[in-house]
Amino acid sequence: MEYEPVIGLEVHAQLLTKSKLFCACSTDFGGEPNTNVCPVCLGLPGSLPVLNEQAVTFAVQAGLALGCTIHEKSIFARKNYFYPDLPKGYQISQFEEPIATHGHLDIDVDGVSKRVGITRAHMEEDAGKNVHGVAGDSLVDLNRAGTPLCEIVGEPDLRSSAEAAAYLRAMRDLLVFVGVNDGNLEEGSFRCDANVSIRPVGTEKLGTRCELKNINSFKFVQRAIDAEIIRQTAILDAGGKVKQETRSFDPDTGLTHTLRAKDDAHDYRYFPEPDLPPLRVTAAFIAAQRAGLHELPVAVRKRWVETLGLTAATAQTLSQHPQYVTFFETVCQSFDQPVKVANFVANEVLRGAKLHGLAATFTVTPAQVAELLLLVESGEISGKQAKEVFAALEGTARTARSVVDERGLKVVSDSAALEVLCQRLIDGFPSQAASVRAGKKALIGFFMGQVMKETGGAANPKLVSDIFERLLGGAP
């Protein structure tokens, strides 16, 4: 039988606050174990949670970026379960009345775009970490306990592992863009659970799902889902039934295996958190957040393609990170040729760029790039020379002009000398020259290439093509 995969993802994104959700402890990653803790996040009796306003602001911004309805009233609830990394014996989350519901995320797979529903986005605190196998012991580190998370539950709208990976990438780009998450999968500040089921093609009823836990890379999410689809297909083909359970993916074997059985009856005994009043955000606050939201990547790309003439691929490359957007647009302010700027930034500048969450470092400044492109535009240096100048500028505060002067770079614009060279090439390649004269204009490119080779890319291209046009009776 032919089956159709159905996938819905749950994303846990750490909100980029300096302190935890209900106490003043630092959210810094990588500290000595159990140093960023206090009575509240240790769950000591008598301690009371106090909500972090910045976390609420970030959650509202995330919800708005996902097109969600933001609710003026939402409720914190206790999700009760026992695990060593959860000192209180419950996690403060939101359950029946989350802060945001009914949104969407647009994804693009192989040039086809698709809108995926977002069921809800709510705030919750993270658990600590169990560290296993330390001299045969298991230890608990509670530095992470109480870190603010936004859990984003997606609708089961995805139909392939490729769509799931695209969804995750788009989600991460969006949250990083809006400035609420650092997008760091390795450090666990962006995590995902994937729910996977299959159903006979053409049927509506959803199959039984398995939940793949905590997959920490885009590559693994795709492999894990594919492995799970194959496993479920084999079960159904053999006449069996998929059991609902929580599974994990082993990248070494490429297989998923059971972590624990999980049926819908799993009882967290949710109830409203008695130590926190209902959360209220005003309509004015929501409106202000909406007004202050960074232009989203989808909108940025659309604007660049439609009004600046960028290709979709280049727009995609340059809109991967808000700092890329700022860099590109800053260069354009001084050099108003967006397509040329975009190509140069995408091909040269981004090669040396490094991202650290919300920050990005570049090897050059927008001002250096703008000046360099102006020198090319005015015909002072060639495009090839621009790459040499760029390499010399990287990591320095120099100006493009000073590099050009120091190295004596200049396009060869001595028309008499160039004409001698062109004539020598025409004589040296008589059959190509004859073809051009016979109308094969494309071969002018061959001659241009020879000139660039002989001059080390320094010949003024406009001048050379004029000379060939004159000598061969054709323009490229």
Which of ligand ADP, Zn ion, Mg ion, none lies near 372, with the C-beta cut-off 5 to 8 A by kind?
none
Give CA–CA dist 204/363, Å, rounded: 53
Comparison of 37 and 118: residue with beta carbon closer to Zn ion: 37
Comparison of 15 and 23: residue with beta carbon closer to Zn ion: 23
Comparison of 7 and 145: residue with beta carbon closer to Zn ion: 145
- Torsional sign, CA 18, 20, 23, 29: negative
Give CA–CA dist 400/165, Å, rounded: 41
Q: Is 461 in the site for ligand ADP (CB under 6 A)?
A: no
Comparison of 17 and 195: residue with beta carbon closer to Mg ion: 195
Comparison of 10 and 329: residue with beta carbon closer to Mg ion: 10
Comparison of 260 and 290: residue with beta carbon closer to Mg ion: 260
CB of 23 to Zn ion, least distance (A): 3
Comparison of 103 and 154: residue with beta carbon closer to ligand ADP: 154
Which of Mg ion, Zn ion, ligand ADP, none lies near 38, with the C-beta cut-off 5 to 8 A by kind?
Zn ion
Give CA–CA dist 88/41, Å, rounded: 8
User: Angle, nearest 10°, between helix axes 218-237 and 161-178?
Assistant: 150
C-alpha torsion 245→251→252→253, nearest 10: 40
Give CA–CA dist 206/196, Å, rounded: 10
Residue from 71, 78, 122, 209 binding ligand ADP (CB under 6 A): 209
Q: Is 87 in the site for ligand ADP (CB under 6 A)?
A: no
Which of Zn ion, Mg ion, ligand ADP, none lies near 414, with the C-beta cut-off 5 to 8 A by kind?
none
Q: Is 6 in the site for ligand ADP (CB under 6 A)?
A: yes
For residues 192 and 164, the answer to whether their CB atoms sit within 8 Å is no
Give CA–CA dist 347/159, Å, rounded: 34
Name the closest residue to ligand ADP (Cβ). Answer: 8
Which of Mg ion, Zn ion, ligand ADP, none lies near 25, with the C-beta cut-off 5 to 8 A by kind?
Zn ion
Give CA–CA dist 64/387, Å, rounded: 42
Q: Is 79 in the site for ligand ADP (CB under 6 A)?
A: no
Give CA–CA dist 123/26, Å, rounded: 18
Residue numbers at the binding site for Zn ion (CB under 5 A): 23, 25, 38, 40-41
Cβ count near 263 (within 10 Å): 9
Backbone angles phi, psi at 80, to 5 degrees: -90, 125
* Stretch 185-204 residues interacting with ligand ADP (CB under 6 A): 195-197
Tokens 């996040």: give the residue: 41
* Site size with ligand ADP, rule: CB under 6 A: 16
Residues near ligand ADP (CB under 6 A): 6-10, 153-156, 195-197, 206-207, 209, 211
